[in-house]
A and B are shown apart, each in its own frame.
Chain A
Amino acid sequence: MDLTSLTIDTARSAIQERKTTALALAEAHYARIQKEDGQIGAYLTLSKERALEQADRIDRMAAEGTTLPSLGGVPVGIKDVMSTRGVRTTAGSKILGQYIPPYDCTAVQRLESAGAVVLGKMNCDEFAMGSSNENSAYHPVRNPRDLTRVPGGSSGGSAAAVAADMAVFTLGSDTGGSIRQPASFCGVVGLMPTYGRVSRYGLIAFASSLDHIGPLTKTVKDAAIVLRTIAGRDPMDSTSADVPVPDYEAELDKPVRGLKLGVAKEYLGDGLDEEVRQAVVSAIDRLKELGCEIVPVSLPHTPYAIPTYYVIATAEASANLARFDGVRYGHRARGVKTLSEMYRRSRDEGFGAEVKRRIMLGTYALSAGYYDAYYLKAQKVRTLLTQDFDEAFRKVDAILTPTSPTAAFRLGEKSNDPLAMYLADIYTVTADLAGIPGVSVPCGETREKLPIGLQILGKHFDESTILRVAHAYEQA
């Protein structure tokens, strides 16, 4: 048995049936990380002690014949923006280079309660700000399919590790596309749940009204299993919704025949790579053959999504990142004489270029005289973008789009042009702004063998339908 090519179910049952052990599975993944990750760079920190302790607990359960929990012994990697008690958590930033959280993120705690084995922390763009993983303060991540290309971002390490079999699955976070776009670039499944579906407690905040936690997996079924584990009301996050969590896995096999799937011309227009367009159109045809009804829909405000996003996200980021002051945690500049100098120099030394750029943009948009012109304006356009989806979902059950306008680009290709980088998120930011769920599922390759992703967007709290469509497409 190849221990590093297993899915959640096959890994768990192999341990349950004593064909292998959780310990052997963890060790096999660490061996693969040792061998492969030097050139990929997906991990920032390994949590071996914690992993082996958990694996031992699961092996003892299996030896006693106890039924293992849903993720029993399954090796997972956690994006380094989620707090892990006693395990360094950097958010990909130098400012948190030595930070050891005193508590666990709810999503991580729920995974471990369900038996998952936390292998380590995944590299990402600094504070999840980026679309290529080149903004990590430590080192970039390389796409396992082509080492000269980016894995996408900001959850680049999370996507690359799953693609390179260095974890069975990982958790990522998505504020403007940071789960779905890297999933698409690396050829794995990436799910952003509805806003409020998964608690954000313990997630290092980037833009609080847009931040989501979700899984990156090898199969749609695995994404369904993980979502059920991490979803649901958490009193520690007042924005976590009080909405019942269905058995997503059980819903996967319901027929897709008769479902109405929307296709919006605004997502297939200028700027879309021709090979990506062809792959997505073929996927749409495939779903039609499976009995889905394809319905044209209009999302007319789509061209305004990126500017809206960059005003709102940076405004919220400038407020959230004000907490990094060198007092309670994080980097403090040496040799400073006054408190004010300490704040400024600690932040200057601790933050990277893109983070400073976004803090500046957000601070500007919120400053006296510009608040109405930028921040308030963007909030109003956010309403229009959300109404577009409300309108479309009166006619259809889900919407099909490309995840990204291109396949993975080369390292360095966009890193000197912030605006060009922002446009990589053109098809993903709308769902973050509207709070709706979206999943990216692989739908073919370019001639250069680079993965392409199909994005399926759904109604608020209706992850079941988009997972069902993704599963049907994946199995077809």
Chain B
Amino acid sequence: MKVTEKDVAYVAELANLDLTTEERSGMLRDLNSILDYVDRLNELDTSDVQPMAQVSDRYGVDQSKQGSERFAYANREDVVEGLRKSLPHTEALQNAPDADEQFFRVPKVIER
């Protein structure tokens, strides 16, 4: 087993999840089973292969250009309210679980 109970606890902490005891044991079982399956990737020798984060830099762009020049069409003026107006204050706050007229409200951040 590659993933231990300790790993599950650590990863849950990184992911900002608490998880119940039951969820943790389910996670232990599922992560191990999925990662066992993922291990078949090691059958492939990829030492000379470049990683690929996304497809946009290879297709639909002018291949004769280099680097960010390929995406010159996506450049825009660095101005306030360039593409669209910012949301009005009230609209930006309307979905907040807790807010006053100015700010999002959250529980105390600094504990003493």
Chain A contacts to B: CB under 8 angstroms: 98-100, 102-103, 194-196, 208-209, 233, 235-236, 238-239, 241-243, 301, 303-304, 306-308, 310-311, 318, 322, 325-332, 336-345, 347-348, 351, 353, 356-357, 359-361, 363-364, 367, 374, 376-384, 386, 418-419, 422, 434-435, 460-461
Contact = CB atoms under 8 A, between A and B. Distances in A.
B49 A367 contact: no
Contacts of A243: 60
Contact of B40 (A100, A303, A379): A303
27 contacts: A102-B92, A195-B55, A195-B56, A196-B56, A196-B60, A209-B55, A238-B71, A241-B59, A242-B61, A304-B40, A304-B44, A306-B37, A307-B37, A330-B95, A336-B107, A342-B106, A345-B18, A347-B17, A356-B23, A357-B31, A359-B17, A378-B38, A382-B52, A386-B52, A386-B55, A418-B33, A461-B59
Nearest to A387: B49
Contacts of B38: 307, 310-311, 374, 378
B80 interface: no
B25 to A, nearest CB: 13
A380 B51 contact: yes
B18 A194 contact: no
Given A332-B98, A379-B51, A344 B60 contact: no
Nearest to B7: A364
A155 to B, nearest CB: 21
| Residue among B35, B41, B55, B104 facing the most chain A CB atoms (10 A cut-off) | B55
Interface string B5-39: 00110111011111100010011001101110111
A92 to B, nearest CB: 17
Contact of A344 (B16, B40, B43): B16
B109 interface: yes
7 shortest interchain CB distances as A-B pairs: A435-B55, A379-B51, A332-B97, A329-B95, A241-B60, A380-B46, A460-B59
Contact of A328 (B11, B44, B60, B95): B95
A325 B16 contact: yes
Interface residues of B, number: 61
B34 A356 contact: no
B38 to A, nearest CB: 4
Given A235-B83, A379-B51, A364 B40 contact: no
B107 A342 contact: yes
A377 B17 contact: no
Given A356-B17, A380-B49, A384-B44, A328 B34 contact: no
A357 B55 CA distance: 26
Contacts of A343: 16
B102 interface: no
Contacts of A435: 54-56, 59
B31 to A, nearest CB: 6
Contacts of A236: 83-84
B87 A102 contact: yes
Contacts of B53: 209, 379
A73 to B, nearest CB: 28
Nearest to B15: A363
A238 B18 contact: no
B34 to A, nearest CB: 6
Contacts of B91: 102
Given A363-B11, A381-B44, A331 B97 contact: yes
A407 to B, nearest CB: 24
Contacts of B50: 380, 383
A379 B52 CA distance: 5
A243 B19 CA distance: 46
Contact of B60 (A339, A342, A461): A461
Contacts of A239: 54, 56
B41 to A, nearest CB: 5
Contacts of B95: 98-100, 102, 328-330
Contacts of B27: 356-357, 360
B78 interface: no
Contacts of A306: 37
A322 B16 contact: yes
Interface string B62-88: 000000000101101000000110010
B58 to A, nearest CB: 8
Given A384-B44, A418-B30, A348 B11 contact: no
